[in-house]
Amino acid sequence: MRKLADWESLDWAKSNAVLAVEVGASIHTVAKRRTQHGVPTDSPTWKRPDVAAINQRPERRAQSARTQPAATAAARQSPAAGRGPENVHAVDWVLVSPSGERHQVRNLYDFVRSHAALFAEADVAWKRTGGKRGTGGEWCNATAGILNIKGGRAKSWKGWTLAQ
């Protein structure tokens, strides 16, 4: 458990690493407090460690290999990572069909999947842009065309527009 530190009475002659252990705080917290109390830094050349290099260490790679299956299983069960309106990347849309019907949409990809009858069969044939199966990258002509409207590259797509 972390100790409550009396920052005023610390021996600031010690290094941030030593103070961090004594206080039970991170090195970054000690460095921040050092500047707040007007004490010069112990090492002006100290830099944050390279996280990418740390992650290449064998013990970190072994830890990732142990925890990755559990993380993948949790992501598969999470509605925020799945198909549907709860997806973390879902955006609200108001689409107007060629017949003038308005559709309130939370997730464009989910809407196209569940309302495939509104589009031509060739426009809802799902394609992949690469990657392993299950890693996303799916698209169809309908989603690509409607996304072009949202991105400002087109005013409409086969009669489909965005409501103002």
pLDDT tens digits, residue range 26-38? 888 888 888 888 8
Report whether 23 contacts 3 (CB < 8 A): yes
Is the pLDDT reported for residue 149 higher than 90? yes
Provide the residue ranges of all domains of the chain, joining segments of one domain with +.
7-77, 93-162
Q: Which amino acid is at 101?
A: E
- SS3 state at 96: strand
pLDDT the model gives residue 133: 61
Structure tokens of 120?
């031509």
Choose the weakest-confidence range: 15-24, 117-126, 130-139.
130-139
Calculate what percentage of the chain has a pLDDT beyond 70. 89
- SS3 state at 15: coil
Structure tokens of 51?
């996280």
Task: Choose between 83 and 129: higher pLDDT.
Answer: 83
Residue with tokens 């390279």: 50
